[in-house]
């Protein structure tokens, strides 16, 4: 498990393409997986924590395997491994990746989810530092 996490860090740090997705508190969000795979993991990175595996998505009709049952009420999967987040709160903000389940590891481009106008992100050496600015005026 440690080895996989280390590999993940390396892969994540080498990624350049990050797209931003803005949302509002309480919205439902859909994030695409740009890998052409039968099975993928969905991973959430909230720096400075290690990456969290949310679920394993299979080709239809099998329902996803949740790595923590508390994710079940928040996350679901649609066609082509699209991740759906219901009723977004600050807990679900971060950088999302899908990853294949075989070797060699393949990571999708990442999607950085944040609230409209509430957070400012700085990208330093492709590592992401999130700073909350509560009284930021646009
Ligand atoms: C989000 O999805 C849930 C379940 O599908 C639905 O009941 C709810 O109305 C949706 N909320 C919004 C803001 O679209
Ligand atoms: C599952 O998630 C909850 C809430 O984030 C956390 O308190 C709990 O420790 C997690 N369980 C496992 C097995 O990781
Ligand atoms: C969405 O989450 C908020 C905060 O956790 C909660 O108060 C609200 O009832 C939830 N809404 C739905 C439709 O689940
Ligand atoms: C990731 O983004 C780059 C640049 O936008 C693009 O060239 C590449 O095809 C994307 N990778 C995948 C797996 O879609």
- Closest residue by Cα to atom 7, ligand 2, is 70
Please give the backbone phi and psi of residue 42, each rounded to the nearest 5 degrees, phi first: -105, 130
pLDDT band with cut points at 50, 70 and 90 for residue 134: very low
Q: How far is the CA of 26 from the centre of ligand 1 (A)?
A: 9
Say what the pTM is.
Answer: 0.77
Rounded Cα–Cα distance for residues 116 and 14 (Å): 27
Asked if residue 109 has its Cβ within 6 Å of ligand 4, the reply is yes
* CB-CB contact of 101 with 42 (8 Å): no
Q: Summarize pLDDT for 73-131 with one digit per residue, the tens.
A: 999 999 999 999 999 998 999 999 999 998 888 888 889 998 886 544 444 444 444 43
pLDDT at residue 126, as a whole number:
43
89 in contact with ligand 2, CB cutoff 6 A: no
Give the mutation target among 23, 26, 86 for probing the ligand 3 site: most ligand atoms within 8 A of CB: 26
Q: Does 17 contact ligand 4 (Cβ within 6 A)? A: yes
**Which residues are near ligand 1 (CB < 6 Å)?**
27-28, 86
Structural domains present in the chain: 2-115 (2.60.40.10)
Ligand 4 atom 8, closest CA: 109
């Amino acid at each position: 498990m440690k080895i996989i996490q280390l590999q993940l860090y390396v892969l994540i740090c080498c990624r350049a393409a990050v797209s931003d997705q803005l949302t509002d508190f309480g919205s439902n969000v859909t994030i695409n997986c740009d890998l052409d795979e039968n099975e993928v993991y969905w991973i959430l990175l909230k720096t400075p924590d290690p990456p969290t595996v949310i679920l394993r998505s299979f080709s239809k009709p099998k329902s996803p395997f949740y790595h923590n049952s508390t994710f079940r009420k928040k996350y679901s999967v649609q066609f082509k491994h699209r991740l759906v987040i219901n009723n977004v709160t600050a807990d679900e903000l971060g950088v999302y990746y899908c990853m294949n389940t075989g070797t060699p590891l393949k990571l999708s481009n990442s999607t950085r989810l944040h609230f409209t106008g509430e957070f400012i992100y700085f990208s330093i050496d492709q590592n992401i530092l999130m700073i909350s600015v509560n009284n930021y005026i646009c």
